[in-house]
Amino acid sequence: MRTAPPLLTKRLLLRSLMFEDVEDIQRLAGEYDVAATLCYMPHPYEDGMAEEWIRACSEKFEKDKALNFAITRRPDRNFIGAIELRLDREIENGELGFWIGKPYWGCGYCTEAAKAVVAYSFKVLKLDRICAYHFEKNLASGRVLQKIGMRYEGRLEKFVQKRNQCEDSTGYGMRKADYDLQDPISV
């Protein structure tokens, strides 16, 4: 099985998901507050769902449709969340998605992981554009996207359905040309 390349940041190691992550995934993704922020995260998060998700991520990677990384802290290698880059190679685009376990909220881990994936997207994968969406009420995800240099692109009314309710979403984007102009210290 092919795996995504590991990405290192100051505090994190981003690596391929492994079946050893199942218990942590189920525990962290099983929190209602985490699931409530994500389009496709079920709640309750039942036995077997983590294994199924890891298999699906591996299949998408094999088909060059997505890169999925476990977000782990470097010192202890603890799994704290995940980040995905869905790929459309035909038009050189990627869509970023991420989640962090609730005990790790507010520590800057998501921003750090997102910066690494964006850099990899533009420098190694040679993508031209990256976008991301978040539920309008999930302001923390919007702040992550702003911190990594993405620009607000608009509000999408009733964009996705979550728990039998249509949710408004907010879209952000970044072109490689914009990324190249950013101050590497501030991003």
- For residues 71 and 128, give the distance between their C-alpha atoms in angstroms, rounded to a whole number: 24
68-111 pLDDT per residue, tens: 999 999 999 999 999 999 999 999 999 999 999 999 999 999 99
| Domain boundaries defined on the chain | 7-181
pTM of the full structure: 0.90
132-159 pLDDT per residue, tens: 998 777 889 999 999 999 999 988 665 5
Looking at domain 7-181, what is its CATH homologous superfamily?
Gcn5-related N-acetyltransferase (GNAT) (3.40.630.30)
6-33 pLDDT per residue, tens: 999 999 999 999 999 999 999 999 888 8
